[in-house]
Structure 1
Amino acid sequence: MKNVLKKDMKPDMLLKTEQLHEIVHPLLRWYHNQARILPWREDPTPYRVWISEIMLQQTRVEAVKPYFERFLTALPTIKDLADVPLDSLLKLWEGLGYYTRARNLQKAAQQIVACFGGTMPNDYNDLLSLPGVGRYTAGAISSIAFGQTRAAVDGNVLRVISRILAYHEDIMSAKVKLAIEQKLENILPAAQAGDFNQALMELGAMICLPKTAAKCPLCPLKQLCLAMAQNIVPDLPVKKAKKARRIEKRTILLFVESGRTALMRRPAAGLLASMWEFPNLDGHVSEKSVLQYARSLGLTVKSITILPIAKHVFSHVEWHMIGYQINLNPARNIAETKAAYDTTQVPPLPQLHWAAKNELHTDYAIPTAFKAYIDIFTK
């Protein structure tokens, strides 16, 4: 771009298509020489591309690799994904987090079976109609799996383009994202649209890193990057500050009887929907309150031990947890076999299920939020 841009240019001027054309060839050349070998790139069928893109949302590549292989082995087709029991699906997803992604995958698979004969649609708008598929994912599938000239604009791409153009608008704005997407579609090489999209993502993931971690001397576009020329790379992209996470205090209860511990199912909607968890109470409650709660469930308590504190961070909330291990008398007077489950109470008492140590790892999908307490019980 040879200094044709100035920092004080208006945003619409900065996004002129011709100003991006120069990145195409050096970027593709770098990608073809330096791209990582990743399992979903080796055989980019629509199904494999779709699963990988959903898994990679808000999850590191190295963390995704073993999950991807295991998932495709267990569910090799869209029909398999549509039909798998929810518990089995959540167990396959356990540890990846953001479990709504898994539930949306199954809903989308069921829609594909019902509306498209079990074959991934190749129409962009049909892809957008699927649960959990937004413009980025639809663009990735369209370009990588079907060779269509559709842009795939994720956070990495927004960071790269913002720096190339020294673009100072808020990239969290839907208007800005759409503007960048449209301009990129005008420069996509028709025969290599998928490679170009992946090259932009790869550059953002490996070289054009956030803040001061950027590896500018290694960048194939360093001669074209206005942010580097102006020494403002750490300042870009501009992002509106996120709201502070909400803090929630919780008390985790490990009811233990004859080598088994109690689990209960989370509600079908909301955070960690339909997954299994240890019984727990809002707030940090006292040992006396725990004893009263255990009795309300029809349980007879032998002893109570205080457990270590733990914390888990979700995208918008943090759980600050304390815990108790409640050892029960082996009378088997548990809610599963006793009419202690009373839905008339407000809130209703939970229906408890009793699991052995090995079953926590094999039969129940339990969120990573409870890992510290799983470890305590299974050690």
Structure 2
Amino acid sequence: MIGKDTVDSDELEITGDPEFFDLNTLRAATENFSESNKLGQGGFGTVYKGELPNHQKVAVKRLIRTRHGIEEFRNEVALIARLQHRNLVKLVGYCRSREERMLVLEYMPNKSLDSFLFGNTRRSLDWQKRFQIINGVARGILYLHQDSRLRIIHRDLKTSNVLLDADMKPKISDFGMARLIHGDQLQNRTNKTAGIFGYIAPEYANFGQFSTKSDVYSFRIIVLEIVSGKKNSSSYWDSTYLVRHAWELWKEDRSLELVDSSLQSYQPDEVLRCIHVGLLCVEDDSENRPAMSDVTFMLCSEASLPSPIQPAFGFNMGSRNTLDPSNNDLSITEMEGR
């Protein structure tokens, strides 16, 4: 039975053409989930590289049952199966048995964006690729919010959930926390807030309210991390570090100092526009944040942009949920490698 914080099971039946895989097939594909095939690990499970009998390479996401319930699993399978966009990871199939719950996804040879920006094996990304990734992620979010048959709020946007294909094109992944918005509905509410400090919007953290503008808020950190090559703090006490730093530089007309020192060259106008758009996306009042349709336009336009307002540096708004780490109603995921 789907819980009240997920979409209705009658409305989200599994459609499209995802294939059902039996457990033995996926064991063989991943060499019994060997360490040598491990691609990454996150809060909800481990991802392995696999090869199917037809020689197709896939990524097998083996979920932790105690962290990822049947509701989240059904939600993720049903959503991904119905979403088709070049900037979203494609679902190949799934496996559900008494022992296991797994997603079989298209294989992304360059893994996740965070491994390029600040992983143990950090690799250089030139500015052209970074700008391409920012625009690709924006188009993927726009599709979820406006252009798909469903209206989806992702709720867990972060650099570790942006995967890169062989051509370094970005694809958004991990839809276990995604939610469907019905018709002209503008926002929804949950009794259990989940996410990572520094990425989640204040209205979501404090009041359990989420909307498309919550994803816009998360997008701004992806932009600032791509520009700076620095990871935003996931600590409760310093979760707005990168935004605060970007704002202080902006006020002093020193924004280019935010740029990753590993970049040999870049387009200053594009960088400044990305930082400017990022700061517009962190307005404390969600109604003042631009929609993703506006964001995609502003990123590629030379039109003048409105001046950003100083962001709120923290979540203490006197609400029932103020991101107190001891608050048992919250399910906040600390940043960890994928």
TM range (shorter): under 0.3
TM-score by length of 2: 0.24
Q: Which structure carries more helix by proportion? A: 1
TM-score by length of 1: 0.22
Q: Which structure has the greater CA radius of gyration?
A: 1
